[in-house]
Amino acid sequence: MLECFYPDEYLNSAYEVDYEGLYQKGFRGVIFDIDNTLVPHGAPADERSIDLFERLRGIGLESVLLSNNKEPRVKTFNDKVHSRYLFKAGKPGKKGYCKAMDLMGTTPETTFFVGDQLFTDVWGAKRVGILTYLVKPIHPKEEIQIVLKRRLEWIVLFFYRRSLRKQSGER
């Protein structure tokens, strides 16, 4: 029942993803959430995020920032990282993910998603068949509606971790 929210991979940070390895496996596009995935909520692009997008371009990966935020927030971040972007994306709806793939010229089989929220980021990407990377939020300070969702995410993550232990034969 909760499996629709389980990420394909769960990492500490978006900066730990093996982007080169994914490119070698045939992936050509990555869709990112911004807030608490690449930078703390509301923060501008920093050196680490700017370097990441330069690295992605060097690898040959296309990218799109997919955010439920309004355009000024997304554009300000994007002005430093130089990606494509979609604002007010309506995550977890499928439309934004599909439009992002259209912008990159990719398919679900050649696209992956990196975000910090199960019920918007991961669930939306899984609904269109995209490989999902859930990352731990960068900063604990969040808007109240996100704090409330995090409580529910803890429950899902508990069962997700338990299923991983069962798969690996641990008790």
Are residues 75 and 42 in contact, defined by beta-carbon separation less than 8 angstroms?
no
Domain positions in the chain are 2-166
pLDDT in tens, 93-134: 999 999 999 999 999 999 999 999 998 999 999 999 999 999
pLDDT in tens, 8-62: 999 999 999 999 999 999 999 999 999 999 999 899 999 999 999 999 999 999 9
Per-residue confidence band for 83, with pLDDT thresholds at 50, 70 and 90: very high
Amino acid (one-letter) located at 40? P
Q: Would you list the DSSP string of the chain?
A: -GGGG--SEEES-GGGS-HHHHHHTT--EEEE--BTTTBSTTPPP-HHHHHHHHHHHHHT-EEEEE-SS-HHHHHHHHHHH--EEESS--TTSHHHHHHHHHHHT--GGGEEEEES-IIIIIHHHHHTT-EEEEE--S-S---HHHHHHHHHHHHHHHHHHHHHHHHHT--
Report the DSSP pairing between strands 84-86 and 62-66: parallel
What phi and psi values does residue 114 have, to the nearest 5 degrees?
A: -125, 120
Closest alpha carbon to 55 in 89, 81, 27: 81
Conformation bin of residue 143: beta by default, left when phi > 0, alpha when psi is -120 to 50? beta
Query: What pTM did the predictor assign?
Result: 0.87
The arrangement of secondary structure in 2-166, i.e. its CATH architecture, is 3-Layer(aba) Sandwich (3.40)
